[in-house]
Amino acid sequence: MNEVIGSGLFALVAALVAVSYQYWQFRKQLQAAHDDAISDSKKRVIEALIAYRFVLISDRRNDPEPTMRFNAALSAIPVHFSHSKACLDKYRAIGDNFTAEKYYDLVIELMKDVPLGTASFDKHLLENVPRVTPKNN
């Protein structure tokens, strides 16, 4: 009789351990998916800041949509990067005497937060903005 009770308790403990491990794995996968979703949204903000940087050129006529998308990406920084003091400091610095250097510093800081590689990224790449609009045929 004691052997049956001992075997039953062992089976119960083994089942609890298995269920606990599965739950831990599920939580781990859920956290990884959540982190990936946050990283993707941060990447979209950075992508928009770089893709629509042409609105910063004062000698071009800016269409409303690119300007809106650039401003929306800029406005999303405090939401998506609120945990990073360095990112928020660079974001605040943009408003005071805006310069290309401050914009570059902001983008680099945002890329470091995601993290994205910044080794081959420099301000000359960011400043590579076409000065001539394409001709319409």
Percent of the chain residues past pLDDT 90, beyond the cut: 35
pLDDT band, very low/low/confident/very high, at 76 (cuts 50, 70, 90): very high
What is the C-alpha to C-alpha distance for residues 77 and 75, in angstroms, rounded to an integer? 6
Find all residues with CB under 8 Å of 53, minimum gap 6, and list them: 70, 103, 126, 129
Residue 60 domain flag: yes
List the single range of 14-28, 68-82, 88-102, 110-124 with lowest mean pLDDT.
110-124
Average of pLDDT values for 79-101?
A: 88
Total number of domains in the chain: 1
Q: Is position 32 within any domain?
A: no
Which of 94, 89, 95, 96 shows the shortest CA–CA distance to 112? 89
| In a domain? residue 99 | yes
pLDDT of residue 27: 94
Report yes or no on 77 lying in a domain: yes
**Could you say which DSSP state residue 129 is in?**
-
Mean pLDDT of the chain: 82
135 DSSP 8-state letter: P
Does residue 89 belong to any structural domain of this protein? Answer: yes
Give the domain extent around 108.
39-126
Q: How far apart are CA 45 and CA 110, in angstroms?
A: 9
Going by pLDDT thresholds of 50, 70 and 90, the confidence category of residue 3 is confident
The answer to whether residue 76 sits within a structural domain is yes
Peptide bond into 64 cis (omega under 30): no
SS3 label, residue 120: coil
pLDDT class of 132 with cuts at 50, 70, 90: very low
This prediction's pTM: 0.70
Exposed / middle / buried, residue 63 (Cβ in 10 Å: 0-12, 13-18, 19+) = exposed
131 lies in some domain: no
Q: Can you tell me which residue has the tokens 């401003």? A: 71
23-72 pLDDT, tens digit each: 999 999 999 999 889 899 999 999 998 888 877 776 566 677 888 888 89
For residue 117, pLDDT over 50 is answered with yes
d(CA 74, CA 84): 15
* One-letter identity of residue 43: K
Q: Is the pLDDT of residue 130 over 70?
A: no
